[in-house]
Amino acid sequence: MKEKIYSAVFLISLAIFILNFMLQGPISFGYSDDFGLITKLSPVFWVGYLGMIVIIYYHYTNFGDIREVFVLLTLFLVTVYLIGTPFFYEILPRFEDSWFHSHLAEKIYETGKVRSTGNIYEQYPGSFLFYGLSFNFLPVYTFMKMFTILFYLFGVSVVYLIFKELDSPKTALLVTILYMFFSWTAEDNHISPQFLMINLYIVFIFLLVKLMKTPDEWRMYGFLLLTLILVFSFSHLFTQIFVFSTLGAFFVLVPKTRKLILPIFIFAIVLFVIHETVFTEIFGTFRKDLMESIRNFSLSSFLSSPSERIGTEGISRKIFIWSRLTILGTSMILGLSGIVTMYLKGSKTEAKLLLAWSYVKIL
């Protein structure tokens, strides 16, 4: 009976999303719209959104009475509303570098030549190789529309598996939902090596967690090294530094991972020698940009919306800025309190792991 109720609410919420898009279609908005799509979407959309919230609550409170396969449906519905909304209602990708990365890959694919500026290609060749292979099956604009929502759904599924290994399926669902709500604003509609890499990074963390419990260590070490190579070829230098910091935390906390120290150290040296010129250029640019950012930094400009940066006045602007600050602060407090709770209940290794992962995510 409970599964029938769940299925009915799920189908109604999904149908509302689809029908509302068919009736309302793509939405255009300007710099004065501080709240973006929030004030543009029809009340019908918010009814479906409320249905999604009801499903999350119902699923979590009745988790033991509902088959785990419905977890995937719940994650799918949340992805549809959080990622699918800008995916369908906004005509173009939200971030300008989405066009740069996609069309650079398209030019490399069409001409067979690399003529990138700023050593962009050399920083993450794996991403452009992946994009180029994808263009064999999808046109570039179709790929740009499909990329984010598919990889986001993949990433959150792996996050669920990570926390299922660390605790219980019920806890994993709650943590994954929180991850989705507090991370989607930075990742939606963004075609970039960073977004591709964060999914590889999540897979890498999953393999490390599995290594804590698997008896077949050497096969897992092979998967880890392969994933690490992919991570480094798909991402830029600073993301690689964060990956190394995560590994450092694992080397301290999980004895099994210490066998990886030597091969990873050798791999890091080879990577540095191959890309020494690129690393030097990136570090120089980073030092310059960092000092300039520190000199010009202010909390209000950091939290401001596009309308404020171009001088648009309005009370909604101030509400928007402080709501962002409230959400950010609340998410950090909730995350820290959850880690402290795990530590006090005896899950000290897992708590330290989550703290290290949170550090990397925040950076």
Say what the pLDDT of residue 286 is: 54
Q: Which residues contact 101 (CB under 8 A, 6 or more apart)?
A: 127, 128, 131, 191, 192, 193
Per-residue pLDDT tens digits for 214-267 = 666 666 667 666 666 666 666 665 566 666 666 666 666 666 666 667 666 666
Per-residue pLDDT tens digits for 170-185 = 778 877 877 777 665 5
Task: Report CA Rg, the chain.
Answer: 22
Say what the pLDDT of residue 108 is: 75
Confidence of residue 84 (pLDDT cuts 50, 70, 90): confident
Residue type at position 304:
S
pLDDT beyond 70 at 293? no
Per-residue pLDDT tens digits for 9-52 = 888 888 888 888 888 777 776 666 656 677 778 888 888 888 88
Question: How many percent of the chain have pLDDT more than 70?
Answer: 48
Quote the CA–CA distance of 160 and 57 in Å, as a whole number.
17
Q: Which residues contact 96 (CB under 8 A, 6 or more apart)?
A: none
